[in-house]
Structure 1
Amino acid sequence: MYVGIDVGTSMVKAAAFDDGGRQLDVAARPVGLALHGGVVEQDMEEVYSAVLAVLGELRSRLPGPVALAGLTGQGDGVWLVDGDGRPVRAAASWMDGRAHELVDRWLADGTFETVFRRTGSAMFPGCPGPLLAWLDSHEPKALDSARAAVYCKDMVFQRLTGRSRPTTDVSDASMPFLDPRTRAYDNRVVELLGLTHRRGLLAPVSDPIATAEAREGLPAGTRLANGPYDLPSCALGAGVTSPGDGLLIVGTCLAGLVATTELDLTGEPAGLYISTDRPGHWLRAMPAMVGTAALDWVLTTTGVRHEEVDALLAETPPGAHGVRVLPYFAPSGERAPFVEPRLRAELTGVSLESTKADLIRATCEGIGFAARHCLRAAGLTGTLAVCGGGTRSPAWMRLLADVLGRPLRVVEGEVGARGAVLAAAARYGVRLDTASWTEPTSIVKPDPARATYYAKEFEDHLERLAQARERARRD
C-alpha cells in the first residue's frame, strides 16, 4: 500500500492506495485559521498534530504495511522554523494580506514587473517575498531566531524524518525567488526585495527523500518523499503532464494550471511558472485567491446548506435572472490571472424578486468565469481535468462545463495525495501504472446552446471586472 499526506489550508488528510491507484481509505482532520485585520495565521503545532492524528487513524485501519509515502501541502506563506523544524512564531498563511502596501509599492516602482521577468513569479501579499520583507521591518527578532523560512510541508517533512536541516523542493521554491531556467535562487531578486541580509533563511532546494522515524506518524523506516506542493501534486494526480493539457482545482483556492515546455516571461505579469521534477517542464499556474471559499461565504450568509446547492442551481436559469457576482472575496485581493491587492467582490443586479437560488447560481457562474479567465491566461489548448471539493456537486460540474465551453475530465478522491505518491514513486524508482492511477471518474460535456450563451456572458464579466479593477486602483 501507498500513503499520500496532504496538509491543506483548512483540512489535513492522509489517504491509502493500492498498486493500481484505487483509493482504499482516507483520514481527515480540520485545522484552524486565525483571521484578524487582514492577518491570516496558522498554529504550526496544531497542523503537525493533525498530521500525526490522521496518520495514526489511517494506520490503525490498514490491513498491511506501507511501502511508500508522499507528502504534499499548501504552498506560499512563511513558516519560520528553528533547526529542528519547530515553530519560531505562527505561520503566516498564503491568504495573509498584511504586506499589500509593499506589493502596491513594488507595482508602482517597477520591482514587481522586474521580478516577474526574471523568475516568472507575480508576487502577491501572501507569498514569501512580501511577507519576509514585512516581517523584516516589523518583527526582525522573529527572523533573527529562525533557522529557515520554509513552506508548510517542509516543516512536516523535517519533523517526520528527524532531518537536521530544513530543505524545500523545486516547486515550493518557485515563488518568488527561483530562476526557472537555472533552478537556483536568483540573488538579484533577493536584493531587489531588500532581503540580501536574510538570504540565509531561504531553505536549500533539493530532491528530498528520507525514512520516517519510529516515534512519529509512520512506521520506522518508511520511505517518504517531500513534495511537490499541492498545485503540482494535483496535476500529477490528475494525469496533467503533456504540454497544453490543463487542470482546474475547484477548492478553497481556484487554480488553473497548464503543462508546458515553453517559458514565456512576456505579457501581463501574473501567476507563476512552477518548476517540476523534470527540468525543462513547468506548470503555468494561475492560482486565484478564492474558489469554494466564495461559495461557502454566500451559503453561510444565506443560510443554505451545501447539500442544497444542486437543487437550487436547477431552480434558476443561466444568467440567474440578472444577478451577477464578481467573486473576489479574499482580504488580500486577487493574484491571478492579474494582481490587484485591493480588489473586492461585487454583487449586482439584486432586487426584492431575487431568490437564494439566484445568488447561488450567480456565485457559481462568477467562479466559473474566473476559472475561464485563468485557464485562458495559462494557455490551455488540450484536455482539461477538474478536481477539488467542487467536484462533489454534479450540477456545478455541468454548469462549469457550460461556462468553460469544453469537456471536463472529473477526477475525484484525494488527488493531491495521489500525486504525492506518484512523485514519491518517481523519486524512489518505483514503477506504477500512472494511466490507471490518473483515470478520470467521469467526463462532463457542455451543452452547446448554454456554452454559446456563456461565451457572451464571459465577455461581459471581463468588462465588469475591468471597471472594478479601475475602482480598486482609485481607492
Structure 2
Amino acid sequence: MNGGAVNGGAVNGRRAAGPTYVGVDIGTSVIKAALFDGNGEQRALRTAPARVVNPREGWFEQDMDEVLAAVGEVVRALVDGQDGGAGDPPALLALTGQGDGVWLLDGEGRAVRPAVSWLDARAAGIADGWRADGTTEAVFRRTGGAMFPGCPAPVLAWFDRHEPDVLDRSVTAAYCKDMVMQRLTGVRATDTSDASLPFLDPVTRDYAPDVLEWCGLGHRADLLAPVAEPLPTGTLTAEGAALVGLPVGTPVSAGPFDLPACALGSGLAATSGDGHLIVGTTLACQVAVAELQPGGEPAGLTIPLGPDRWLRSMPAMVGTAALDWTLKLVGRTHDDVDPLLATGEPGAHGVRCLPYFSPAGERAPFVESGARARLDGLTVQTSTADVVRAVCEGIAFAARHCFEAAGLEGEVAVCGGGIRSREWLRLFADALGRPVRVSACPEVGAYGAVLAGIAATGLPVDTAAWARDRAADTTVVNPGEGPAKRYAEEYERYRAAVDRARTEWKERQV
C-alpha cells in the first residue's frame, strides 16, 4: 500500500439498522468508503491515502494495484467496523472516482503499465497542436467537450506515436472506477459520464466514430469499453469478494465519475441554470442545462444526465492543491486557514493571485497548457495572511469565471474538502455574489454513487424520501453586501489580469 493507515470513524454513534449501502470514492489523493443506512444517512467512513508518482517532469502516474488494494482496505475496514462485521452485508457496493487520464488494461483487467493521471502533461504538445489546427474546436462543437493534455484522446495519441507497443498489448483504455469495476466483477464497461470526454456523442450516447478519426485514433476504437446505460452493473466474483471482504454475488455499480456523482449527492436541482461547486483537488464548477448548444470558447465537458438534460462542467486543474502548496510555502497548516482569513479583508491589501499552479496548465474555463500561477503586489509589508487570502480569493474568482462560462443562473450547491474552512466558504459566497448551499451529507461523491447505483440496479429504495429528509438539514451561506460589492470590483481586475496573462502565455510558446 502507500505506507498510510486506514483512517475514519463513525459519523454518528447510532447503529445502522436495516439495509446498508457502501459508496466508494476513488480520488486522486484519498480513497474513501462511506456506509449509508436504509434512510440514506451516512453512518461511517474509512479513508486511505492514494499515491501519485512523478517519474519525469510533467508526468503523473498511479500504480493500479495500489489503488485497488486501497479500495479493498477501506471497504473491509468499513464493513468490519459495523458490529464487528456481524450484521447483514451491504445490499450494494457503488463506485465513483476520478475521471480522465488513461488506465490501460489487458484482457483480464490488469495493468499493462501504470495509469496516466488526469494531471499528466506529457501530451501537451499534441493538445496544443490540435488546438492550433482546429481539431479541438471541431470536437468541442460535436460533443461539447474540449480536450486538454490529461484527457484520454491526447494521451492515447501520445502512446500511439511514441509507445505503440503499449497500446498493442492493451485491451482496454479504461477510466479509474471502471478498472476497479472490472477487477471486482469481470464487467468491462464504462458509463456516459466518463465516456463524455472526448469521444461520446451526447445525443446518441455512444461513441462518435468521426471524433476518433479526427484524433487519429480510429484504428484504436476497440480499446474503448462499451458504454452501459444507465451504469455498468455486476456482482462480486470470488476474487472481488476476497478483496473487499463482502459475499460473492454482492451487487456492484460503477458511476457516474466523481464530478456528476458529487452533483447528484449534493442534490443539484433539476432546474436549468442551477450550479454545483466542488472545492477539491480540482475546482469543479458545473451547471445543469436543458439545451445542448456547445458555444463560446472550447472548454470543459458536457455530461449526459438524462433525456434532454446535461451537466455543463468546467473542472479547473487546481483547487485545494494550490492552497496546499501555499500553506507549505509559508509554513502553515490547514488549521491556520480560518484564523488567517478572519484577520484579513477583501483584496488582501493589494496582493492578487492567478491560481494556475498545475504544470499541465489550465483546462477550464479555457485551455492553455502554458498557463502558470502568479502572485502580484507583494512588498516587505505583505503578511502571511495576505498571501493565503490572495490565493483563496484567486481560486474563488476562478470559480466565478468557470460558472460564467458554464451559464450559471440559479443557486449553487457546494461540497469538497476546501469548504471545511468556514471562512473560505463565506469567501466563496461573497466572491460568487450569490448564496451557496452545503449538503448535510459529508461524503457527497460516495452518496451520489449510491443513489445512482440504487437506480441502476433497481433496488426497492425510496430515494425521494431520502432527498426530502436531507433538504431540511442543508446549510445556506449568504454573501455579505459589502464584501460582495468589493469582490465584484476585484473580479473585474482578475479577469483583466487573466486576459493579459493569456497573451503572454501564447507569446512564450511561439
Q: What SS does the aligned partner of 1:426 have? A: helix
User: Where does 1:198-237 land on structure 2 (aligned, <5 Å)?
Assistant: 198-206=220-228, 207-213=231-237, 214-217=241-244, 218-237=246-265
User: Where does 1:236-247 land on structure 2 (aligned, <5 Å)?
Assistant: 236-242=264-270, 243-247=272-276
Structure 1 vs Structure 2 CA RMSD: 1.1
Structure with more relative contact order (C-alpha pairs < 8 Å, separation 6 or more): 1
Contact 2:23 2:446 in 1 (8 A): yes
Contact 1:238 1:438 in 2 (8 A): no
Deviation at 1:383?
1.5
Contact 1:81 1:88 in 2 (8 A): yes
Q: What residue number does 1:365 align with?
A: 393
Deviation at 1:212?
1.3
Deviation at 1:365?
0.3
Deviation at 1:317?
1.2
Deviating above 6 A after TM superposition, structure 1's stretches of 4 or more consecutive aligned residues are none
Q: What residue number does 2:475 align with?
A: 442
User: Where does 1:255-294 land on structure 2 (aligned, <5 Å)?
Assistant: 255-276=284-305, 278-294=306-322
TM-score by length of 2: 0.91
Matching residue's letter, 1:186: A
Contact 1:153 1:229 in 2 (8 A): yes
Contact 1:21 1:436 in 2 (8 A): no
**Larger CA deviation: 169-178 vs 216-225:** 216-225
Deviation at 1:438?
4.6
Deviation at 1:43?
0.6
User: Where does 1:376-455 land on structure 2 (aligned, <5 Å)?
Assistant: 376-411=404-439, 412-430=441-459, 431=461, 432=463, 433-436=465-468, 438-439=470-471, 441-455=474-488
Deviation at 1:370?
0.2
User: Where does 1:61-80 land on structure 2 (aligned, <5 Å)?
Assistant: 61-63=81-83, 64=87, 65-80=89-104
Deviation at 1:162?
2.9
Provide the C-alpha distance between the structure 1 equivalents of 2:183 and 2:466, rounded to a whole number of angstroms.
29
Q: What residue number does 2:25 align with?
A: 6
Q: What SS does the aligned partner of 1:248 have? A: strand
1:126 equivalent in alignment to 2:146: no
Contact 2:69 2:243 in 1 (8 A): no
1:16 equivalent in alignment to 2:23: no
In structure 2, stretches of 5+ residues that fail to align are 1-19
Matching residue's letter, 2:494: H
Deviation at 1:215?
2.4
Provide the C-alpha distance between the structure 2 equivalents of 1:220 and 1:86, rounded to a whole number of angstroms.
20
Deviation at 1:220?
1.9
1:93 equivalent in alignment to 2:131: no
User: Where does 1:15-164 land on structure 2 (aligned, <5 Å)?
Assistant: 15-35=34-54, 36-63=56-83, 64=87, 65-163=89-187
Matching residue's letter, 1:102: I
Count of residue pairs brought into register by the alignment:
472
Q: Percent identity?
A: 56
Provide the C-alpha distance between the structure 2 equivalents of 1:175 and 1:362, rounded to a whole number of angstroms.
32
Contact 1:237 1:437 in 2 (8 A): no
Provide the C-alpha distance between the structure 1 equivalents of 2:291 and 2:445, rounded to a whole number of angstroms.
25
Matching residue's letter, 1:76: D
TM-score by length of 1: 0.98
Q: 1:386-445: per-residue Cα shift (whole Å, max 9, x none)?
A: 000011111111111111111110125111000000001111223322414653541111
Provide the C-alpha distance between the structure 2 equivalents of 1:104 and 1:358, rounded to a whole number of angstroms.
35
1:319 equivalent in alignment to 2:343: no
1:474 equivalent in alignment to 2:507: yes
Matching residue's letter, 2:446: A
Provide the C-alpha distance between the structure 1 equivalents of 2:432 and 2:23, rounded to a whole number of angstroms.
30
In structure 1, stretches of 5+ residues that fail to align are none
Q: What SS does the aligned partner of 2:119 have? A: coil
Contact 1:39 1:97 in 2 (8 A): yes
Provide the C-alpha distance between the structure 1 equivalents of 2:52 and 2:468, rounded to a whole number of angstroms.
36
Matching residue's letter, 2:36: F
Provide the C-alpha distance between the structure 1 equivalents of 2:489 and 2:277, rounded to a whole number of angstroms.
21
Provide the C-alpha distance between the structure 2 equivalents of 1:419 and 1:407, rounded to a whole number of angstroms.
22
Q: What SS does the aligned partner of 2:242 have? A: coil
Which of the numbers 488, 492, 508 marks the counterpart of 1:459?
492
Q: What residue number does 1:186 align with?
A: 208
Contact 1:161 1:212 in 2 (8 A): yes
Contact 2:104 2:113 in 1 (8 A): yes
